[in-house]
Amino acid sequence: AWREYEKTRLIVSAAMYASLIAFAVIAGCYWVALRERMFADYTCYLLSLILFMTASAGLLYAAPGGVWLGRLGIHGQWAAATAAIGFAVGFARDFLDIGRHAPRLLPTMDRLRTALLWSAVAIAAWPWPASRFGIVVVIVLLAVNLLMISLGVRAARARDRYGYYFLAGWIPLTVATSVRSI
Answer whether 147's CB lies under 8 Å from 178's CB: no
130: left (phi over 0), alpha (psi -120 to 50) or beta: beta
Average confidence (pLDDT) over 166-174: 89
Q: What pLDDT is stored for residue 87 in this prediction?
A: 96
**What pLDDT score was predicted for residue 26?**
93
pLDDT in tens, 38-96: 999 999 999 999 888 888 887 788 778 777 777 788 888 899 999 999 999 999 999 98
- pLDDT higher for 182 or 120? 120
Look over the chain and give the mean of its residue pLDDT values, rounded to a whole number.
88
Q: Indicate left, alpha or beta for 63 from its phi (over 0: left) and psi (-120 to 50: alpha).
A: beta
